[in-house]
Amino acid sequence: MLDKNGIAKRIAKEVKDGYYVNLGIGIPTLVANFVRDDIEVEFQSENGVLGMGPFPFEGEEDADVINAGKQTITTLPGASFFDSATSFAMIRGKHVHLTILGAMEVAQNGDIANWKIPGKMVKGMGGAMDLVASADNIIVAMMHTNKKGESKLLKECSLPLTGVGCVTKIVTNLAVLEIKDNAFHLIERAPGVTVEEIKNATEGELIVNGDIPEMIL
Amino acid sequence: MINKKVNNVTEALKGVKSNMTFMLGGFGLSGIPENAIAELVKLNVRNVTCISNNAGVDDFGLGLLLQNKQIKKMISSYVGENDEFERQMLSGELEVELTPQGTLAEKCRAAQAGFPAFYTPAGFGTEVAEGKETREFDGKMYVLEPAFKADFAFVKAWKGDEAGNLIFKGTARNFNANMCGAAKITVAEVEELVPAGELDPNQIHIPGIFIQRIFQGNNYEKRIEQRTVRQRN
């Protein structure tokens, strides 16, 4: 079974040379730590920066240089700043190659819910609805089950949707899965996790074709 | 040179009244028009609608107007980090229209650019699209979103000149640039106001035509919401 860093490490393998990548808040942010050194990648943050670098050294924080999580950041050579409409032109216009974000629920038809729990949590969708409606290449990073142990991979989402039919790949603490033909297809198992355990943790329809390899991290 | 300079925040906010709709730039606390917000608190205008990506924190930014119960309605994309906001929203005192961030930016830009509305894929099939016109283009569904209409836009830039030309710094550009010229009157406050001719025309982010009033701001706190650092090795 993977921890959050393990999930990030596995997703980092999906990041290819020359990609512009938008990372959501939470596990997705960790992906930047595991991208190979020998490829060129630029991270976009939707508040208006491309070429995001690591956190600043203490004493060098700048209130005018933050990421979408409102954290102080730095920029790398080649970086640029821009306004919010231009930022979403990059996203809506499919210039960003890969979007990695978290989710509360994903359905077997690719629906995703991650912005609202009625009566409990209403923080807003931020840029998530624009991201999932526009990107062709979306990876969801999340735990396979919630804190109560209930599956987050469902037949249908129970929470208000962020987007419809948009998720194609999911990396959880248990597995890598693809969504097609209205089902979750098991692609890889996390180290030490059995197909049976993944079946038990998946409420939606799970397709298991042949031997499922263990992921290489 | 058409001079847009006014002497202070009081002159800049002349004509601001209760029941108006305001646009306020900024993302989180980065690039918020601190001087205009302080003046809105002082003027104690009531029942206002605020278009702003976020709602500040409890004791800073738009949180100051919320504490004072001056806001009737907020139009935002993300409103976490503010307990008073949550309390007013759950109790029904505050009306909230949550809007996807890219749609929010484009509704500003559309108002700036003279488009009455636009189609976007964001929110299709979700509660955001309820009651809105939808249309298919090339096999994909889109939602029709109208441009914003506002009385005042309050924006903050790094540098500006008397002609109203603006230069932003870092990610503080955000919604500020898109709100310029998107309301009946745009008020720009800047950290450094210089005479016309001192800024390089090649480096201007927003031309002065979009700005009606510009003033030299003061006492910027520029508060950091999430101070994240790494250790020196």
pLDDT tens digits along B172-194: 999 999 999 999 999 999 999 99
From B206, which residue of chain A is nearest by alpha-carbon distance? A83
Are the Cβ atoms of B178 and A56 closer than 8 angstroms? no
Tell me the mean pLDDT in the region B225-233.
90
Neighboring chain A residues of B103 at a CB cutoff of 8 Å: 129-130
Question: Bigger pLDDT: A121 or A210?
Answer: A210
Chain A positions touching B230 (Cβ under 8 A) are: 54-58
Q: Is a pLDDT exceeding 90 seen at residue A123?
A: no
* CB contacts, 8 Å: A73 with chain B: 228
The residue behind tokens 């925040």 is B9
Averaged pLDDT score across all residues of chain B? 97
Whether ipTM tops 0.85, in short, is: yes
pLDDT digits (tens, 9 = 90+) for A170-195: 999 999 999 999 999 999 999 999 99
Cα–Cα distance measured from residue A176 to residue A149, given in angstroms and rounded to the nearest whole number: 19
Q: How many CA atoms lie within 13 A of B3 on its CB side?
A: 5
Please tell me the pTM assigned to this model: 0.96
B103 with A130: Cβ contact below 8 A: yes
| C-alpha–C-alpha distance, residues B213 and B156, integer Å | 12
Among the partner residues A64, A88, A163, nearest to B126 by beta-carbon distance: A163
- Residue of B79, B121, B178 lying closest to A124 (CB–CB): B79
| Cα distance between residue B146 and residue B117, in whole Å | 4
| Cβ proximity of A10 and A28 under 8 Å | no
Residue of A nearest to B173 (CA): A83
Chain A with chain B: Cβ pairs closer than 8 A: 186
Cα separation, B218 vs B8, whole angstroms: 10
**Cross-chain residue pair A85–B178, CB shorter than 8 Å:** yes
CB distance A72–B226 less than 8 Å?
yes
Residue A138 half-sphere exposure toward CB, CA atoms < 13 A: 28
Residue B159 forms contact with A (CB below 8 Å):
no
Task: Inspect the interface and report whether the beta carbons of B222 and A56 lie closer than 8 Å.
Answer: no
User: Is pLDDT above 90 for B80?
Assistant: no
Residues of B in Cβ contact (< 8 Å) with A26: none
Q: Choose from B34, B57, B119, B126 for mutation: most chain A CBs within 10 A.
A: B126
Cα-based distances in Å from A72 to A67, A171, B25, B111, B177: 7, 27, 19, 31, 21
* Residue environment code for B120-155, b if the CB has 16+ CB neighbours within 10 A, otherwise e: bbbbbbbebbeeeeeeeeeeeebbebebbebbbbbb
Return the pLDDT at A122. Answer: 80
pLDDT digits (tens, 9 = 90+) for B4-51: 999 999 999 999 999 999 999 999 999 999 999 999 999 999 999 999
Residues 6+ apart with CB under 8 A from B99: B75, B76, B77, B107, B128
pLDDT in tens, A56-95: 999 999 999 999 999 999 999 999 999 999 999 999 999 9
Query: What is the pLDDT, as a whole number, of residue B232?
Result: 86
Q: Please, which pLDDT band fits residue B90 given cuts at 50, 70 and 90?
A: confident
pLDDT at A26 over 90: no
> Is the Cβ of B182 closer than 8 Å to some Cβ of chain A?
no
What is the rounded distance in angstroms from the CA atom of residue B217 to the CA atom of residue B188?
9
Tell which of A44, A66, A67, A117 to mutate to test the B interface (max B CBs under 10 Å). A66
Question: According to the model, what pLDDT value does residue B223 have?
Answer: 96
At residue A119, the pLDDT reads 80
pLDDT band, residue B233 (cuts 50/70/90): confident
Whether A133 sits inside 8 A of B121 (CB atoms) is: yes
Nearest in space to B34 (alpha carbons), one of B14, B12, B6: B12
Mean pLDDT of chain A: 96
Percent of chain A with pLDDT strictly greater than 90: 93
Q: What pLDDT score does A25 carry?
A: 87
Q: How many angstroms separate the CA of residue B46 from the nearest CA in chain A?
A: 24
Given a cut of 80, whether residue B228 has pLDDT beyond it is: yes
Nearest CA in chain B to A90: B102
More reliable by pLDDT, B82 or A10: A10
Asked if A130 and B101 touch (Cβ cutoff 8 Å), the reply is yes
**Locus of tokens 């914003």:** B148
Query: In terms of CA atoms, which chain B residue is nearest residue A159?
Result: B126
CA B94-B223-A28 angle, 5° bins? 80
Nearest to A123 among B78, B104, B170 (CB): B78
Best mutation target, A70, A95, A164, to test chain B (most B CBs within 10 A): A70
Is residue A121 pLDDT above 80, yes or no? no
Q: Which residue of B has its CA nearest to A79?
A: B170
Beta strands A153-154; A105-107: pairing state: parallel
A125 and B176 in contact by Cβ < 8 A? Answer: no
Buried b / exposed e across B160-181, counting CB within 10 Å, b at 16+? bbbbbbbbbbbbbbbbbbbbbb
